[in-house]
């Protein structure tokens, strides 16, 4: 059965059929059409459409990398209601020294190609502190790709230094920063941000920092935090702002939907969304973000089995091996309390569902063993 026949079989609404046909023709869908897919699209249809796009862009390949996560501190100036991680100075948080972080990297598996550095926004650590960390990592291992600091962390570094975004980005580039992750985006609606993360970097500032990084030749990822108090329209509008910036710069490598987890935070009364909703969100992300080359499933948050299932719903990137070096989501009740995966296990999960596993570097260039 060809894809058009499958779509006819799965479509229960004439309007959804029209949107599906538009997608198959390679046309961009609108915010309203995105919302309609969320509200009326059958999961089977969304999976077919997302997989069609995924295979157009990346064939049968599923990418992964060998990486290490470093969390410098969970001391943070912000009080995000969904966060189960941050602490204040004088509490029971941690503050790793530069020497301790360098030792962690030195003791890591020698086959890793990337170190991912994200933590709390520490009030006493500035852009030069983190710049020195980057320099020392590069001095010890010049070939290691450093993907570090969310736009929220960079925003604070820049403001603390009293410099412009462009100057701050140039500082970090000169220190040796290679790329940045996509955290801190949460949801790009200022009313919702005022409710769930009132002191955090605004959506406009988050986008401005990523734009400046892209223009300086530093790529990044993008995220969304879904499954809390947002609506489908909030999700669609969030992705639209990312899509517009990607049209302008082309600097985003991947989009990562991050599921709200409700343990140990002040939003614990909110029930977590279902697996069906997770898969729907992956699929619609792949459909809507037509200019993003990759959709990533962050397995330490949703678990290895759901991440494996997501490979049939538009996802083509399985993230990395990580080696039990992240606590941000395990503290919030993620499916993986001790997130670690060997290369063999990663390969087995990917190939078990008929996908071709491809080890990549941080810029999605295949690594040939």
Distance in angstroms (rounded) separating the CA atoms of residues 62 and 145? 20
Can you say how many angstroms the Cα of residue 9 is from the centroid of all Cα atoms in its chain? 33
More confident residue, 244 or 325: 244
Contacts of 229 (CB under 8 A, 6+ apart): 192, 195, 196, 267, 270
Sign of CA dihedral 192, 38, 249, 221: positive
Instruction: Please give the residue that has the higher pLDDT: either 264 or 55.
Output: 55
pTM of the model: 0.92
Average pLDDT along the chain: 90
- Report whether pLDDT(144) > 80: yes
- Report whether 56 contacts 350 (CB < 8 A): no
CA–CA dist 60, 54 (Å, integer): 8
With 60 as the cut, is the pLDDT of residue 326 above it?
no
Cα–Cα distance measured from residue 204 to residue 169, given in angstroms and rounded to the nearest whole number: 17
Average pLDDT over residues 151-156: 96
Which of the pair, 205 or 17, is modelled with greater confidence? 205
Those residues with Cβ within 8 angstroms of residue 103's Cβ, 6 or more apart along the chain or in another chain: none
Q: What is the C-alpha separation between 281 and 38, in angstroms, rounded?
A: 8
- How far apart are the C-alpha atoms of 19 and 25, rounded to whole Å? 10
CA 330 to chain centre: 16
Given pLDDT bands bounded at 50, 70 and 90, which one contains residue 102? Answer: very high
Going by pLDDT thresholds of 50, 70 and 90, the confidence category of residue 275 is: very high
Non-local CB neighbours of 264 within 8 Å, separated by 6+ positions: 84, 331, 332, 333
Cα–Cα distance measured from residue 363 to residue 248, given in angstroms and rounded to the nearest whole number: 19
pLDDT digits (tens, 9 = 90+) for 83-100: 876 677 666 778 899 999
Consecutive H or E run containing 4: helix 3-10
Q: How confident is the model at residue 323 (pLDDT cuts 50, 70, 90)?
A: low
Distances (CA, A) of 70 to 109, 133, 135, 215: 14, 11, 15, 26
List of domains in the chain: 52-359 (3.20.20.70)
Q: Report whether pLDDT(334) > 50.
A: no
Q: Does 118 have pLDDT greater than 70?
A: yes
pLDDT band at 369 (very low <50, low <70, confident <90, very high): low
Cα 351 to its chain centre, rounded Å, is 23
- What per-residue confidence (pLDDT) applies to 2? 62
Q: Mean of the pLDDT values across residues 213-242?
A: 97
Lowest-confidence region among 168-177, 312-321, 323-332: 323-332
Cα distances (Å, whole numbers) of residue 71 to 117, 140, 143, 144, 322: 6, 19, 21, 17, 12
Confidence of residue 29 (pLDDT cuts 50, 70, 90): very high
């Amino acid at each position: 059965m060809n894809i058009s026949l499958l779509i006819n079989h799965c479509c229960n609404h004439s309007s959804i059929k029209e949107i599906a046909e538009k997608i198959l023709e390679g046309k961009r869908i609108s915010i309203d059409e995105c919302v309609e897919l969320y509200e009326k699209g059958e999961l089977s249809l969304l999976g077919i459409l997302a997989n069609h796009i995924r295979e157009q862009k990346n064939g049968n390949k599923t990418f992964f990398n060998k990486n290490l996560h470093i969390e410098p501190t969970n001391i943070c100036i912000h009080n995000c209601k969904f966060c189960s991680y941050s602490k204040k100075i004088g509490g029971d948080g941690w503050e790793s020294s530069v020497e301790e972080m360098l030792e962690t990297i030195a003791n890591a598996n020698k086959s890793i190609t990337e170190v991912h550095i994200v933590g709390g926004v520490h009030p006493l650590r500035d852009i030069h502190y983190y710049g020195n960390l980057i320099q020392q990592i590069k001095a010890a291992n010049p070939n290691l790709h450093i993907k570090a600091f969310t736009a929220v962390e960079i925003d604070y570094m820049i403001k603390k230094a009293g410099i412009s975004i462009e100057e701050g980005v140039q500082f970090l580039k000169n220190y040796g920063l290679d790329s940045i992750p996509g955290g801190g985006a949460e949801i790009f609606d200022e009313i919702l941000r005022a409710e769930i993360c009132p002191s955090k970097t605004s959506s406009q500032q988050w986008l401005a920092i990523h734009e400046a990084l892209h223009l300086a030749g530093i790529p990044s990822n993008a995220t969304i935090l879904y499954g809390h108090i947002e609506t489908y329209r909030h999700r669609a509008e969030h992705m639209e702002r990312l899509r517009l910036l990607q049209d302008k710069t082309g600097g985003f490598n991947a989009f990562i939907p991050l599921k709200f987890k409700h343990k140990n935070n002040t939003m614990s009364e909110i029930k977590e969304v279902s697996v069906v909703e997770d898969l729907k969100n992956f699929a619609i992300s792949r459909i809507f973000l037509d200019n993003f080359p990759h959709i990533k499933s962050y397995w330490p948050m949703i678990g290895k089995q759901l991440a494996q299932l997501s490979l049939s719903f538009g996802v083509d990137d399985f993230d990395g091996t990580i080696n039990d070096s992240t606590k941000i989501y395990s503290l919030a009740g993620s499916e993986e309390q001790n997130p670690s995966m060997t290369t063999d296990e990663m390969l087995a999960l990917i190939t078990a569902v008929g996908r071709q596993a491809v080890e990549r570097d941080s810029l999605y260039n295949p690594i040939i063993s």
